[in-house]
Amino acid sequence: MKDKIQNIEYRTRNNEPQKLKFIIRYSLFIIHYFVFASCFSQSTNPQIDSLLSLLKTDKEDTNKVNHLKALFDDYIYSEPLQALDYAQKAFKLAKQIDWKKGVGNSFHSIGHYYYTQGDYRNTLDCWLKALKAREEISDRNGIAITLGNIGNVYYNQSDYSKALDYDFRALKMAEDLGDKQLQANNLSNIGLIYWDQVDHPKALDYYFRALKIGEELGDKRLQANVLGNIGIVYDEQGILSRKQCNYADEGVNYDKALDYYFRALKIDEELGDKNGIVADIGNIGIFYAERNNYTKALDYCFRALKISEELGDKSSIAINLSSIGSLYTKTGRFKEAEEYLQKAIVIDSAIGEQNYERQDEEALSKLYENTNRHQLALEHYKKAMALKDTIFSQENKKQLIRKEMNYEFEKKEASAKAEQEKKDAAQKAEARRQQIVIWSVVSGLLLVVVFAGFIFRALRITQKQKRVIEAQKKLVEEKQKEILDSIHYAKRIQTALLPTEKYIEKSFNRLKARMPNN
């Protein structure tokens, strides 16, 4: 079983901390992150009972590790502690049978659990171990997944340079593998970084590229995540249009934002994805807060907080505490506002979410300013600015630009290299073809020469044999002539010495006539 990932996150951007709509914007959205096995990514209704039955009969082998991993994937969004138990059992068994792939997958799962709890220190520790384990066995798909996950941790810690570095590395590997799912996930994550830098055109470009792939794959989770993120960008553009008095554009962007939010919510409700639902209702809550409908906004915030507490997601809990605090400040309920904001600061500081901590400090500073506690307002404003300088420094922005330029350069270089290799291969093929033709011609000529040699040799032998035969024939003829000459000579002698038959007959007749009578 190969791991699949949807490392998509909902994040927002604050431009004016004095305005509630901007304070809430950074605090209402939930990190929406998914890590799950391919079998789970292909099914929204996993057969848990079937897996539990298989687990009872499984031997202590790789199949059992995979089944435990699948159960982790099924439970992580509904019962995180139960999911962790399955992941730990999978890790223990994988170590026992010395299955390195299973060890890497288990580290990955355990890290995912810590991620949902906002425990980024343990998350990073597990995912770096997962990366090492997957590199040892050259699991390229697993490496690409883990790179993207680590990028998410750095993003949440506001280390955008490292986040973008890991995201581009993951994207490049996903492109090399031809893995559309991973490409979409990393495209969306890169879009989040540009959105956080208020580069809306680039953010939308990456989001729509991710959404297109999600629609091609029929991946509902991915679609819901990206739809929510696109809604956030349009919502922000609507606010900017209002500031610039472009009311027509403001209306269009707001309508688009609400449409994308509800499309995302509908899909997440169909999937039963609580993390996604938290993000979606947070987005819709912001929409109503921006229109000064604080009753509806608070209702959505408390619904989000309740689900976050059920999930035990510290990051989400802090976000919603901060949102409620900001809304209470706006409605004049300062005591409750201070309580909620201070709780949010404690959690965000503990889990290292600097961006959200900065927003909390800004919101608290605004509260103290409204209640004429100017010294406290100044102290918290300074804390917020110190965090902001760390997060949004010029050097940090330059590093982000360098990361993208490096990625684009490497991508073009790889493309040029591939094209050159293609040309070289074509040239080599042509050279080989020409070489084959030349050798074929040479071989043909050699065969002709050899054949001609054989023919010439055969002719020479034939001519030699002919000369021998002619000589022998001449010799035979000469011998035959000699014999015939001898015969003729003997006959002449015989003829000369012996009387003829007629002469003998005459002589016999004479003798016969002279004989006496009795």
Spatial CA neighbour of 351 closest among 153, 78, 76, 159:
153
According to the model, what pLDDT value does residue 261 have?
94
Distance CA 366, CA 22 (A): 12
Least confident range of 283-292, 329-338, 487-496: 487-496
Question: How would DSSP label each residue in 57-107?
Answer: H--SSHHHHHHHHHHHHHHTTT-HHHHHHHHHHHHHHHHHTT-HHHHHHHH
Residue 205 burial (CB count, 10 A)? 15
According to the model, what pLDDT value does residue 510 have?
67
Asked whether 40 and 271 are in contact (CB, 8 A), the reply is no
| Stronger pLDDT, 383 or 28, i.e. the higher one | 383
3-class secondary-structure state, position 34: strand
The answer, yes or no, to whether residue 121 has pLDDT greater than 50, is yes
Q: What is the dihedral of CA 140, 146, 150, 151, to 10 degrees?
A: 60
Confidence of residue 466 (pLDDT cuts 50, 70, 90): confident
Confidence of residue 188 (pLDDT cuts 50, 70, 90): very high
pLDDT mean over 145-169: 91
Confidence of residue 248 (pLDDT cuts 50, 70, 90): confident
Distance CA 7, CA 148 (A): 7
Spatial CA neighbour of 224 closest among 237, 207, 236, 240:
207
Least confident range of 28-42, 189-203, 339-353, 393-407: 28-42
3-class secondary-structure state, position 226: helix
Phi, psi of 36 (to 5 degrees): -155, 160
Work out the percent of the chain whose per-residue pLDDT is above 90.
36
The predicted-structure confidence for 297-337, as pLDDT tens digits, reads as follows 999 989 999 998 988 888 889 988 998 999 999 899 999 99
3-state secondary structure 300-333: HHHHHHHHHHHHCCHHHHHHHHHHHHHHHHHCCC
pLDDT mean over 37-52: 53
* Residues ≥6 apart with Cβ < 8 Å to 225: 6, 8, 9, 10, 32, 34, 188, 264, 276, 279
User: Please, how many CA atoms are within 13 Å of residue 158, restricted to the half-sphere of its CB?
Assistant: 21
Long-range contacts of the stretch 239-242 (C-beta < 8 A, 24+): 239/21, 239/22, 239/290
Name the helix (H) or strand (E) containing 6.
strand 3-6
Spatial CA neighbour of 75 closest among 59, 88, 87, 64:
87
User: Rounded to an integer, what is the distance from CA 130 to the centroid of its chain?
Assistant: 17
Longest dimension (CA), the chain: 207
* Residues ≥6 apart with Cβ < 8 Å to 70: 1, 37, 39, 40, 46, 51
Asked whether 283 and 254 are in contact (CB, 8 A), the reply is no
